[in-house]
Amino acid sequence: MQLAFMWTLKLALHYLFPKGRIGTFFTWMSIAGIALGVMVLTVVLSIMNGFDKTIHSKLIQINGQIKILSTSIIEDCTQWMHTLENFEGVSHVTPFVQGIALVQHGDYVQFPRCLGVDAKTVQSVLPLNTFVRSGDIADLNQGVFVTKGLAQTLNVNVGDIFDIYSPLSLEAIKRDEVLLPKELPIVGIFETEWAEIDKNTLLCSLETLQDLYGLANGVHGFSLSVKAGTSVQQLCSKLNAHLPKPLKAYSWMELDADFLHILKLEKAMSFFVLLFVILVACFSISSGLMSSVVRKTREIALLRIWGARRWQIAALFCWQAVFLSSIGILLGFIGGISVLHYRNDVIRCLTGLIFPKDFLWNFYSFSNLPVAYAWQDFALVGSLTFIIALLAAIIPALKASFSLVTRSLRSE
Protein backbone atom coordinates (compact mmCIF):
# COMPACT_ATOMS: atom_id res chain seq x y z
CA MET A 1 0.00 0.00 0.00
CA GLN A 2 2.81 2.36 0.94
CA LEU A 3 4.67 1.54 -2.29
CA ALA A 4 1.53 2.25 -4.34
CA PHE A 5 1.17 5.55 -2.52
CA MET A 6 4.78 6.55 -3.19
CA TRP A 7 4.87 5.82 -6.92
CA THR A 8 1.57 7.64 -7.65
CA LEU A 9 2.83 10.62 -5.65
CA LYS A 10 6.20 10.66 -7.40
CA LEU A 11 4.72 10.26 -10.88
CA ALA A 12 2.17 13.03 -10.22
CA LEU A 13 5.03 15.39 -9.30
CA HIS A 14 6.92 14.29 -12.43
CA TYR A 15 3.93 15.16 -14.63
CA LEU A 16 3.65 18.64 -13.08
CA PHE A 17 7.38 19.34 -12.73
CA PRO A 18 9.31 17.30 -15.35
CA LYS A 19 12.98 16.64 -14.63
CA GLY A 20 15.15 19.61 -15.54
CA ARG A 21 12.16 22.00 -15.73
CA ILE A 22 10.48 24.22 -13.14
CA GLY A 23 7.06 23.19 -14.35
CA THR A 24 4.86 23.09 -17.40
CA PHE A 25 2.77 25.92 -18.80
CA PHE A 26 -0.39 24.14 -17.61
CA THR A 27 1.08 23.78 -14.11
CA TRP A 28 1.81 27.46 -13.60
CA MET A 29 -1.37 28.70 -15.29
CA SER A 30 -3.42 26.48 -12.99
CA ILE A 31 -1.48 27.65 -9.94
CA ALA A 32 -1.85 31.29 -11.01
CA GLY A 33 -5.63 30.90 -11.42
CA ILE A 34 -6.02 29.40 -7.96
CA ALA A 35 -3.65 31.96 -6.40
CA LEU A 36 -5.51 34.93 -7.91
CA GLY A 37 -8.88 33.60 -6.75
CA VAL A 38 -7.62 32.99 -3.21
CA MET A 39 -5.86 36.38 -3.13
CA VAL A 40 -9.01 38.27 -4.19
CA LEU A 41 -11.15 36.46 -1.61
CA THR A 42 -8.55 37.03 1.12
CA VAL A 43 -8.27 40.75 0.35
CA VAL A 44 -12.03 41.34 0.20
CA LEU A 45 -12.88 39.35 3.34
CA SER A 46 -10.05 40.94 5.35
CA ILE A 47 -11.13 44.45 4.32
CA MET A 48 -14.77 43.64 5.16
CA ASN A 49 -13.57 42.35 8.55
CA GLY A 50 -11.66 45.61 8.96
CA PHE A 51 -14.79 47.65 8.26
CA ASP A 52 -16.77 45.47 10.65
CA LYS A 53 -14.26 45.66 13.50
CA THR A 54 -13.56 49.39 13.12
CA ILE A 55 -17.24 50.30 12.89
CA HIS A 56 -18.05 48.22 15.99
CA SER A 57 -15.26 49.96 17.89
CA LYS A 58 -16.35 53.43 16.77
CA LEU A 59 -20.01 52.82 17.62
CA ILE A 60 -19.08 51.75 21.16
CA GLN A 61 -16.68 54.67 21.63
CA ILE A 62 -19.19 57.24 20.38
CA ASN A 63 -22.44 55.89 21.87
CA GLY A 64 -21.31 53.75 24.78
CA GLN A 65 -22.15 50.06 25.22
CA ILE A 66 -25.72 50.78 26.35
CA LYS A 67 -27.94 53.81 25.94
CA ILE A 68 -31.05 54.53 27.96
CA LEU A 69 -33.46 56.74 26.02
CA SER A 70 -36.89 58.15 26.67
CA THR A 71 -39.66 59.66 24.56
CA SER A 72 -39.95 62.46 27.14
CA ILE A 73 -37.53 64.49 29.25
CA ILE A 74 -35.96 62.48 32.07
CA GLU A 75 -36.24 64.45 35.30
CA ASP A 76 -34.33 63.75 38.54
CA CYS A 77 -31.09 63.05 36.71
CA THR A 78 -29.05 62.58 39.91
CA GLN A 79 -31.49 60.03 41.34
CA TRP A 80 -31.55 57.99 38.14
CA MET A 81 -27.75 57.99 37.93
CA HIS A 82 -27.52 56.63 41.48
CA THR A 83 -30.08 53.91 40.66
CA LEU A 84 -28.31 52.86 37.46
CA GLU A 85 -24.83 52.83 39.01
CA ASN A 86 -26.06 50.39 41.66
CA PHE A 87 -27.61 48.08 39.05
CA GLU A 88 -25.81 44.73 38.78
CA GLY A 89 -23.50 44.62 35.76
CA VAL A 90 -23.34 48.40 35.22
CA SER A 91 -19.86 49.89 35.57
CA HIS A 92 -20.32 53.64 34.97
CA VAL A 93 -23.11 56.02 33.95
CA THR A 94 -23.08 59.45 32.33
CA PRO A 95 -26.08 61.63 31.33
CA PHE A 96 -26.42 63.43 28.00
CA VAL A 97 -28.57 65.90 26.11
CA GLN A 98 -28.67 65.87 22.33
CA GLY A 99 -30.30 67.84 19.55
CA ILE A 100 -29.86 70.31 16.70
CA ALA A 101 -28.99 73.99 16.96
CA LEU A 102 -28.10 76.83 14.60
CA VAL A 103 -24.55 78.19 14.86
CA GLN A 104 -23.13 81.23 13.10
CA HIS A 105 -19.63 82.56 12.70
CA GLY A 106 -19.48 85.62 10.48
CA ASP A 107 -21.17 84.71 7.21
CA TYR A 108 -20.92 80.96 7.89
CA VAL A 109 -24.03 79.17 9.18
CA GLN A 110 -24.48 75.49 10.08
CA PHE A 111 -26.98 73.23 11.83
CA PRO A 112 -24.71 70.82 13.73
CA ARG A 113 -25.68 67.85 15.84
CA CYS A 114 -25.14 69.00 19.44
CA LEU A 115 -24.17 66.70 22.28
CA GLY A 116 -24.15 67.90 25.86
CA VAL A 117 -22.16 65.73 28.31
CA ASP A 118 -21.12 65.83 31.94
CA ALA A 119 -17.40 66.58 31.93
CA LYS A 120 -16.97 64.84 35.31
CA THR A 121 -18.43 61.45 34.34
CA VAL A 122 -18.26 61.22 30.56
CA GLN A 123 -14.65 59.96 30.47
CA SER A 124 -15.62 56.84 32.43
CA VAL A 125 -18.00 55.80 29.62
CA LEU A 126 -16.86 57.53 26.42
CA PRO A 127 -13.11 57.89 25.70
CA LEU A 128 -13.37 61.50 24.51
CA ASN A 129 -9.72 62.26 25.36
CA THR A 130 -8.63 59.89 22.59
CA PHE A 131 -10.49 62.06 20.07
CA VAL A 132 -9.17 65.45 21.20
CA ARG A 133 -6.82 67.07 18.68
CA SER A 134 -6.44 70.38 20.55
CA GLY A 135 -7.72 71.60 23.91
CA ASP A 136 -8.65 69.76 27.10
CA ILE A 137 -11.95 68.07 27.97
CA ALA A 138 -11.63 69.59 31.45
CA ASP A 139 -12.30 73.01 29.81
CA LEU A 140 -15.68 71.87 28.46
CA ASN A 141 -17.54 73.98 31.03
CA GLN A 142 -15.84 77.10 29.64
CA GLY A 143 -16.88 76.67 26.01
CA VAL A 144 -17.48 74.09 23.28
CA PHE A 145 -15.56 71.54 21.26
CA VAL A 146 -16.18 71.28 17.52
CA THR A 147 -15.23 68.48 15.16
CA LYS A 148 -12.51 69.03 12.59
CA GLY A 149 -15.02 69.03 9.73
CA LEU A 150 -17.31 71.56 11.41
CA ALA A 151 -14.33 73.80 12.21
CA GLN A 152 -13.37 73.85 8.53
CA THR A 153 -16.96 74.54 7.44
CA LEU A 154 -17.37 77.46 9.85
CA ASN A 155 -13.78 78.64 9.30
CA VAL A 156 -13.05 78.68 13.04
CA ASN A 157 -10.23 77.62 15.33
CA VAL A 158 -9.56 77.33 19.04
CA GLY A 159 -10.16 80.70 20.69
CA ASP A 160 -12.77 81.91 18.20
CA ILE A 161 -16.29 82.79 19.37
CA PHE A 162 -19.50 81.97 17.53
CA ASP A 163 -23.21 82.47 18.14
CA ILE A 164 -25.48 79.54 18.87
CA TYR A 165 -29.26 79.92 18.55
CA SER A 166 -31.62 77.86 20.67
CA PRO A 167 -34.54 75.97 19.07
CA LEU A 168 -36.65 77.87 21.62
CA SER A 169 -36.15 80.93 19.41
CA LEU A 170 -38.97 79.68 17.17
CA GLU A 171 -41.37 79.62 20.09
CA ALA A 172 -40.22 83.11 21.10
CA ILE A 173 -40.92 84.41 17.57
CA LYS A 174 -44.50 83.11 17.82
CA ARG A 175 -44.90 85.25 20.95
CA ASP A 176 -43.37 88.26 19.18
CA GLU A 177 -40.31 87.98 21.38
CA VAL A 178 -36.63 87.88 20.50
CA LEU A 179 -34.37 85.30 22.11
CA LEU A 180 -30.76 86.39 21.77
CA PRO A 181 -28.14 83.79 20.81
CA LYS A 182 -25.48 82.58 23.23
CA GLU A 183 -21.89 83.51 22.51
CA LEU A 184 -19.64 80.52 23.14
CA PRO A 185 -15.86 80.28 22.73
CA ILE A 186 -14.27 77.29 21.02
CA VAL A 187 -11.99 75.61 23.57
CA GLY A 188 -11.01 72.56 21.55
CA ILE A 189 -11.26 70.49 18.38
CA PHE A 190 -11.86 66.76 18.29
CA GLU A 191 -11.85 64.10 15.57
CA THR A 192 -13.30 60.58 15.88
CA GLU A 193 -12.25 59.49 12.35
CA TRP A 194 -15.89 58.61 11.78
CA ALA A 195 -17.13 60.92 9.03
CA GLU A 196 -20.78 60.88 10.13
CA ILE A 197 -19.70 62.50 13.42
CA ASP A 198 -16.71 64.54 12.27
CA LYS A 199 -18.51 66.41 9.51
CA ASN A 200 -21.02 68.24 11.66
CA THR A 201 -20.93 67.75 15.46
CA LEU A 202 -20.63 70.14 18.37
CA LEU A 203 -19.71 69.00 21.89
CA CYS A 204 -20.58 71.10 24.92
CA SER A 205 -21.24 70.77 28.62
CA LEU A 206 -24.48 69.28 29.91
CA GLU A 207 -25.44 72.54 31.58
CA THR A 208 -24.93 74.57 28.40
CA LEU A 209 -27.26 72.42 26.31
CA GLN A 210 -29.81 72.12 29.14
CA ASP A 211 -29.95 75.91 29.28
CA LEU A 212 -30.12 76.18 25.49
CA TYR A 213 -33.06 73.74 25.32
CA GLY A 214 -34.76 74.98 28.48
CA LEU A 215 -34.57 71.58 30.18
CA ALA A 216 -33.69 72.79 33.69
CA ASN A 217 -32.16 69.62 35.26
CA GLY A 218 -33.68 67.22 32.72
CA VAL A 219 -31.72 65.04 30.31
CA HIS A 220 -32.50 63.03 27.18
CA GLY A 221 -30.80 59.84 28.28
CA PHE A 222 -27.84 58.01 29.82
CA SER A 223 -24.83 56.20 28.37
CA LEU A 224 -23.63 53.15 30.28
CA SER A 225 -20.46 51.09 30.35
CA VAL A 226 -20.65 47.40 31.25
CA LYS A 227 -18.52 45.50 33.74
CA ALA A 228 -16.06 42.99 32.28
CA GLY A 229 -17.62 39.59 31.71
CA THR A 230 -21.17 40.94 31.57
CA SER A 231 -23.25 40.31 28.45
CA VAL A 232 -24.47 43.59 26.95
CA GLN A 233 -27.64 42.03 25.56
CA GLN A 234 -28.54 40.27 28.81
CA LEU A 235 -27.95 43.44 30.81
CA CYS A 236 -30.23 45.34 28.41
CA SER A 237 -32.98 42.78 28.97
CA LYS A 238 -32.61 43.06 32.76
CA LEU A 239 -32.67 46.86 32.61
CA ASN A 240 -35.79 46.88 30.44
CA ALA A 241 -37.48 44.54 32.92
CA HIS A 242 -36.91 47.07 35.72
CA LEU A 243 -37.07 50.46 33.97
CA PRO A 244 -40.45 52.20 33.96
CA LYS A 245 -41.91 53.42 30.70
CA PRO A 246 -41.10 55.47 28.67
CA LEU A 247 -37.44 54.63 29.52
CA LYS A 248 -35.85 51.88 27.46
CA ALA A 249 -32.33 50.45 27.27
CA TYR A 250 -30.69 49.85 23.88
CA SER A 251 -27.42 48.06 23.23
CA TRP A 252 -24.99 49.58 20.73
CA MET A 253 -25.93 46.74 18.35
CA GLU A 254 -29.64 47.57 18.53
CA LEU A 255 -29.11 51.28 17.90
CA ASP A 256 -27.46 50.54 14.54
CA ALA A 257 -28.94 47.10 13.81
CA ASP A 258 -29.82 47.87 10.18
CA PHE A 259 -26.36 49.23 9.42
CA LEU A 260 -24.62 46.23 11.03
CA HIS A 261 -26.92 43.84 9.16
CA ILE A 262 -25.97 45.49 5.86
CA LEU A 263 -22.27 45.00 6.68
CA LYS A 264 -22.79 41.27 7.28
CA LEU A 265 -24.87 40.97 4.11
CA GLU A 266 -22.18 42.75 2.06
CA LYS A 267 -19.51 40.37 3.34
CA ALA A 268 -21.65 37.31 2.59
CA MET A 269 -22.52 38.52 -0.91
CA SER A 270 -18.88 39.42 -1.66
CA PHE A 271 -17.80 35.94 -0.63
CA PHE A 272 -20.54 34.32 -2.72
CA VAL A 273 -19.73 36.33 -5.87
CA LEU A 274 -15.95 36.01 -5.64
CA LEU A 275 -16.17 32.26 -4.98
CA PHE A 276 -16.96 31.91 -8.69
CA VAL A 277 -13.42 33.15 -9.45
CA ILE A 278 -12.09 30.03 -7.70
CA LEU A 279 -14.68 27.86 -9.47
CA VAL A 280 -13.42 29.12 -12.84
CA ALA A 281 -9.80 28.51 -11.81
CA CYS A 282 -10.64 24.98 -10.68
CA PHE A 283 -12.49 24.37 -13.96
CA SER A 284 -9.26 25.24 -15.78
CA ILE A 285 -7.50 22.58 -13.66
CA SER A 286 -10.12 20.04 -14.74
CA SER A 287 -9.65 21.01 -18.40
CA GLY A 288 -5.88 20.79 -18.10
CA LEU A 289 -6.00 17.40 -16.41
CA MET A 290 -8.43 16.14 -19.06
CA SER A 291 -6.05 17.17 -21.83
CA SER A 292 -3.25 15.48 -19.87
CA VAL A 293 -5.29 12.26 -19.81
CA VAL A 294 -5.67 12.42 -23.60
CA ARG A 295 -1.96 13.13 -24.15
CA LYS A 296 -0.83 10.35 -21.83
CA THR A 297 -3.23 7.65 -23.02
CA ARG A 298 -0.37 5.28 -23.95
CA GLU A 299 1.39 5.78 -20.61
CA ILE A 300 -1.83 5.08 -18.71
CA ALA A 301 -2.35 1.90 -20.73
CA LEU A 302 1.21 0.75 -19.99
CA LEU A 303 0.71 1.42 -16.28
CA ARG A 304 -2.39 -0.78 -16.36
CA ILE A 305 -0.46 -3.55 -18.13
CA TRP A 306 2.29 -3.37 -15.47
CA GLY A 307 -0.31 -3.97 -12.76
CA ALA A 308 -1.54 -0.53 -11.72
CA ARG A 309 -5.07 -0.64 -10.35
CA ARG A 310 -7.85 1.71 -11.43
CA TRP A 311 -7.83 3.59 -8.10
CA GLN A 312 -4.08 4.16 -8.44
CA ILE A 313 -4.53 5.69 -11.89
CA ALA A 314 -7.30 7.92 -10.48
CA ALA A 315 -5.07 8.86 -7.52
CA LEU A 316 -2.31 9.88 -9.94
CA PHE A 317 -4.48 12.71 -11.30
CA CYS A 318 -6.06 13.59 -7.94
CA TRP A 319 -2.56 14.11 -6.54
CA GLN A 320 -1.91 16.65 -9.27
CA ALA A 321 -5.00 18.61 -8.21
CA VAL A 322 -3.81 18.44 -4.59
CA PHE A 323 -0.37 19.86 -5.50
CA LEU A 324 -1.78 22.57 -7.76
CA SER A 325 -4.38 23.73 -5.23
CA SER A 326 -1.96 23.63 -2.27
CA ILE A 327 0.67 25.74 -4.02
CA GLY A 328 -2.01 28.10 -5.37
CA ILE A 329 -3.59 28.55 -1.92
CA LEU A 330 -0.23 29.28 -0.31
CA LEU A 331 0.78 31.81 -2.99
CA GLY A 332 -2.72 33.34 -2.85
CA PHE A 333 -2.46 33.94 0.91
CA ILE A 334 1.04 35.43 0.53
CA GLY A 335 -0.14 37.70 -2.32
CA GLY A 336 -3.28 38.74 -0.43
CA ILE A 337 -1.38 39.67 2.73
CA SER A 338 1.18 41.60 0.64
CA VAL A 339 -1.56 43.60 -1.13
CA LEU A 340 -3.27 44.35 2.20
CA HIS A 341 0.02 45.52 3.71
CA TYR A 342 0.39 48.18 1.00
CA ARG A 343 -3.36 48.82 0.54
CA ASN A 344 -3.34 52.46 1.63
CA ASP A 345 -0.33 53.24 -0.59
CA VAL A 346 -2.19 51.70 -3.53
CA ILE A 347 -5.34 53.70 -2.73
CA ARG A 348 -3.36 56.94 -2.52
CA CYS A 349 -1.78 56.24 -5.91
CA LEU A 350 -5.18 55.56 -7.49
CA THR A 351 -6.87 58.57 -5.88
CA GLY A 352 -7.55 61.14 -8.56
CA LEU A 353 -6.98 58.61 -11.36
CA ILE A 354 -9.74 56.07 -10.72
CA PHE A 355 -11.22 57.01 -7.35
CA PRO A 356 -12.48 60.52 -6.47
CA LYS A 357 -10.57 62.47 -3.85
CA ASP A 358 -11.48 61.54 -0.26
CA PHE A 359 -13.82 58.80 -1.52
CA LEU A 360 -13.10 56.66 1.56
CA TRP A 361 -14.06 59.57 3.81
CA ASN A 362 -17.14 60.59 1.85
CA PHE A 363 -18.60 57.14 1.17
CA TYR A 364 -17.23 54.87 3.90
CA SER A 365 -16.55 57.32 6.76
CA PHE A 366 -12.86 56.32 7.02
CA SER A 367 -9.67 58.15 6.20
CA ASN A 368 -7.76 54.87 5.69
CA LEU A 369 -8.83 51.46 4.44
CA PRO A 370 -9.18 49.22 7.53
CA VAL A 371 -8.22 45.55 7.58
CA ALA A 372 -8.57 42.71 10.08
CA TYR A 373 -7.32 39.16 9.62
CA ALA A 374 -9.50 36.25 10.77
CA TRP A 375 -8.10 32.72 10.79
CA GLN A 376 -11.64 31.42 10.25
CA ASP A 377 -11.78 33.17 6.87
CA PHE A 378 -8.36 31.85 5.86
CA ALA A 379 -9.41 28.33 6.86
CA LEU A 380 -12.72 28.63 5.00
CA VAL A 381 -11.15 29.96 1.80
CA GLY A 382 -8.33 27.40 1.88
CA SER A 383 -10.56 24.41 2.59
CA LEU A 384 -13.21 25.37 0.02
CA THR A 385 -10.56 25.93 -2.65
CA PHE A 386 -8.93 22.59 -1.86
CA ILE A 387 -12.26 20.72 -1.98
CA ILE A 388 -13.38 22.38 -5.23
CA ALA A 389 -10.01 21.63 -6.88
CA LEU A 390 -10.23 18.01 -5.76
CA LEU A 391 -13.77 17.70 -7.08
CA ALA A 392 -12.63 19.23 -10.38
CA ALA A 393 -10.07 16.40 -10.71
CA ILE A 394 -12.65 13.62 -10.30
CA ILE A 395 -13.87 13.57 -13.91
CA PRO A 396 -10.35 13.43 -15.48
CA ALA A 397 -9.35 10.84 -12.87
CA LEU A 398 -12.34 8.63 -13.66
CA LYS A 399 -11.74 9.08 -17.38
CA ALA A 400 -8.14 7.91 -16.96
CA SER A 401 -8.95 4.98 -14.65
CA PHE A 402 -11.70 3.56 -16.87
CA SER A 403 -9.93 3.96 -20.21
CA LEU A 404 -9.65 0.67 -22.17
CA VAL A 405 -6.08 -0.64 -22.44
CA THR A 406 -6.43 -2.31 -25.85
CA ARG A 407 -8.16 0.67 -27.43
CA SER A 408 -5.55 3.05 -25.97
CA LEU A 409 -2.64 1.02 -27.36
CA ARG A 410 -4.37 0.52 -30.72
CA SER A 411 -4.91 4.30 -31.06
CA GLU A 412 -1.22 4.81 -30.47
pLDDT in tens, 104-120: 888 888 888 899 998 88
Is pTM beyond 0.75? Reply is: no
Q: Is residue 14 part of a domain?
A: yes
Rounded mean pLDDT, 295-299: 62
Q: Among 156-160, 218-222, 277-281, name the one with the lowest average pLDDT.
A: 277-281
Whether 318 and 387 map to the same domain: the answer is yes
Range picked from 26-30, 230-234, 319-323, 350-354 for highest mean pLDDT? 230-234
Rounded mean pLDDT, 376-401: 80
In the structure, what pLDDT confidence band is assigned to residue 222 with cuts at 50, 70 and 90?
very high
Whether the per-residue pLDDT at 379 is higher than 70: the answer is: yes
Structural domain span for residue 321: 2-56+259-411
Q: What's residue 1's pLDDT? A: 47
Per-residue pLDDT of 5-56, as tens digits, reads 566 667 666 667 777 567 677 778 888 888 888 898 898 888 888 888 888 8
In the structure, what pLDDT confidence band is assigned to residue 333 with cuts at 50, 70 and 90?
very high
Q: Is residue 132 part of a domain?
A: yes
Per-residue pLDDT of 72-101, as tens digits, reads 888 888 888 888 888 888 899 999 999 888
In the structure, what pLDDT confidence band is assigned to residue 366 with cuts at 50, 70 and 90?
low
Whether 191 and 321 map to the same domain: the answer is no
Per-residue pLDDT of 237-249, as tens digits, reads 899 888 888 889 9
In angstroms, the first-to-last Cα distance of the chain is 31
Whether 274 and 403 map to the same domain: the answer is yes
Q: Is residue 242 part of a domain?
A: no
Q: What's residue 303's pLDDT? A: 61
In the structure, what pLDDT confidence band is assigned to residue 405 with cuts at 50, 70 and 90?
very low
Q: Is residue 148 part of a domain?
A: yes
Q: Is residue 327 part of a domain?
A: yes
Whether 291 and 388 map to the same domain: the answer is yes
User: Percentage of the chain with pLDDT > 90?
Assistant: 5
Work out the mean pLDDT of the chain and round it to a whole number. Answer: 80
Rounded mean pLDDT, 364-375: 76
Rounded mean pLDDT, 328-337: 91
Query: For the chain, what is the domain count?
Result: 2
